[in-house]
Amino acid sequence: MTDNPFRNREVLFEIYPIGNLVKVTAMDVKTMTEIMIQGPKSAPETTLKANALKRLEYVMKKKGLM
């Protein structure tokens, strides 16, 4: 099992539908880093949030924030 890099951080999520898609925004409160992804409306919320966290981790590592 991999370690969760966000376990001691507050991450806010916003999920809203756009036609057959949903737009997911995730923001790390400490660094104010924000990302957006899209997924199918039929996808489970847990999957969408997990994908958003992976993208947020990638962006934060690229910026040297993690």
What per-residue confidence (pLDDT) applies to 1? 44
pLDDT in tens, 10-51: 999 999 999 999 999 999 999 999 999 999 999 999 999 999
Question: Which segments of the chain are extended strands (E)?
Answer: 11-18, 21-28, 33-40
Residue 52 parent element (H or E):
helix 45-62
DSSP character at residue 9: S
**Region of 23 on the Ramachandran plot (φ > 0 left; ψ -120 to 50 alpha; else beta):** beta
Q: Rounded to two decimals, what is the model's pTM?
A: 0.89
Token pair for residue 54?
């992976």
Residues 13 and 52: beta-carbon distance below 8 Å: yes
- Indicate if the pLDDT at residue 5 is higher than 60: yes
